[in-house]
Amino acid sequence: MVSKLVYENRYEKAMKYLFGKTLICRNLESATSLARSTGLDCVTLDGDQVSSKGSLTGGYFNSSRSRLETQKKRTEHKNEMRRIEDELNELKAEMRAVESEISAVVSELQKTENKNAKQK
pLDDT tens-place string over residues 69-86: 888 899 999 999 999 999
Asked if the model's pLDDT at residue 97 lies above 80, the reply is: yes
Mean pLDDT estimate for the chain: 84
pLDDT tens-place string over residues 37-63: 888 888 887 778 888 776 666 655 555
pLDDT tens-place string over residues 22-42: 888 888 888 888 888 888 888
The string of DSSP letters for 37-102 reads HH--EEEETTSEEE-TTS-EEE----HHHHHHHHHHHHHHHHHHHHHHHHHHHHHHHHHHHHHHHH
